[in-house]
Amino acid sequence: MAETTMDAFLGDNHDAILVAVAERMRGDEVMGDVATQRDLSQADMTSQVLGFWLQAIRTDLELGSTAALAQNFQWLARLRSGHDLPFDDAMVMRMFDEISAVIVARLDSEELRAEYDAYAGKVRVLVAETFPG
């Protein structure tokens, strides 16, 4: 059997991860405020944002970089400023932590966990730089 790679894992588990993270963030007040401002239900807003994040995370792990999520963060910062999106810096780290918790809980290999942890460490530095609050 071929060895599972991190990006293949994310491809195979995309929907399950999305549902699990959305469930964990269901009562998040800040996400609720953003959804209200965009005239979306909280569930739709969360799914939309998570879809972008998961695509970017998978791309990063496929390319061995943090370029995709870095671009998403820069984009998010510009959108927040341009569209007065009501989320604080802490929200970004919280969201990444929720996604990471779900991913790590589903990984059944130490090698993959180590790979993801190394990636997550770099992403947390990026988040802290872009959203320092």
Enumerate binding residues for another protein (CB under 8 A).
7, 52, 55-56, 58-65, 67-68, 71-72, 75, 78-79, 81-84
Q: Which is closer to another protein, CB of 29 or CB of 39? A: 39
What is the DSSP secondary-structure string of the chain? Answer: -PPP-HHHHHHHTHHHHHHHHHHHTTT-HHHHHHHHHTT--HHHHHHHHHHHHHHHHHHHHHHTSSHHHHHHHHHHHHHHHHHT----HHHHHHHHHHHHHHHHHH---HHHHHHHHHHHHHHHHHHHHHS--
Query: What is the closest distance, in whole angstroms, from the C-beta atom of residue 39 to another protein in the complex?
Result: 12
Q: Which is closer to another protein, CB of 72 or CB of 100? A: 72
Query: What is the closest distance, in whole angstroms, from the C-beta atom of residue 84 to another protein in the complex?
Result: 7
Q: What angle do CA 2, 112, 5 make, to 5 degrees?
A: 35
Q: Which is closer to another protein, CB of 26 or CB of 48? A: 48
Query: What is the closest distance, in whole angstroms, from the C-beta atom of residue 23 to another protein in the complex?
Result: 23
Query: What is the closest distance, in whole angstroms, from the C-beta atom of residue 108 to another protein in the complex?
Result: 22
Q: Which is closer to another protein, CB of 42 or CB of 72? A: 72
